[in-house]
Amino acid sequence: MNIIDRSAVYLARSIRKHHPEAASEQALTYSLIMTINTVSAAVVSLLICALTGHLKEVLLVMLFYSLVRYFGGGAHLSSSLSCNILTIMILSGLAHVQFDYLYLGVIFDIVSITVFLLLAPQGIENVSRVDPKYYPLLKIFCILIIASNFYFQLPYISAAFLLQSFFITPLSYKLIDILERRGKSNETQGS
């Protein structure tokens, strides 16, 4: 159990101890893992980008990336710590991306719209309460969000959309599954 999971379990038990009428320990633990993961990834990313002079960029990446991730879904890692580290790397890294939008950015946005048109939403069945009959509306939201960058023309947002479009492809699910199986295999061999 990693530090995020241990902290969530400790807090959930403490909440249940002082408020027995609260949700189950399992529900609290899950919610706290999500909260700790999100808050810590955001804070660390903000600190990194504030130190490197890219605070505005990381704020915009967090906004746009989280919107298309929320509405479009995508692959998830099974470890909260791995997810946290990857999220920090993605947010901080994307905030530093620079290229000429009118060439590469337009292509990235068109590719992202195409992928979202074909595949979104993906993998939200167990993490969202949205009725499947509204999934076409989620797809439209994603496409409109991505298309907004034709107006803003921000290269780091184009890169964020392209990366998130990869995370809704079957290839990303297979890749994550392979990496996680390999990681578990290495853990058992090291024990």
Q: What is the pLDDT of residues 83-139, one digit of tens each?
A: 999 999 999 999 999 999 999 999 999 999 999 999 999 999 887 889 999 999 999
- What is the chain's Cα-based Rg? 18
CB atoms within 10 A of CB 85: 14
DSSP reduced 3-state for 21: coil
**Does residue 187 have a pLDDT over 80?**
no
Model confidence pLDDT, tens digit, residues 11-58: 999 999 999 999 999 999 999 999 999 999 999 999 999 999 999 999
How far apart, in whole angstroms, are the C-alpha atoms of residue 80 and residue 149? 31
**Does residue 7 have a pLDDT over 80?**
yes
**Does residue 191 have a pLDDT over 70?**
no
Lowest pLDDT segment from 51-60, 165-174, 175-184: 175-184
Query: Is the CB of residue 156 less than 8 Å from the CB of residue 98?
Result: yes
**Does residue 190 have a pLDDT over 80?**
no
CB atoms within 10 A of CB 98: 10
Query: Is the CB of residue 66 less than 8 Å from the CB of residue 167?
Result: no
Q: Where are the domains of the chain?
A: 3-190
Q: What distances in angstroms separate CA 77 from CA 63, 86, 126, 130, 173, one per listed residue?
A: 21, 9, 14, 21, 9
**Does residue 189 have a pLDDT over 90?**
no
Q: Please, where are the H alpha helices in 97-134?
A: 106-119
Burial of 185 (0-12, 13-18, 19+ CB in 10 A): exposed
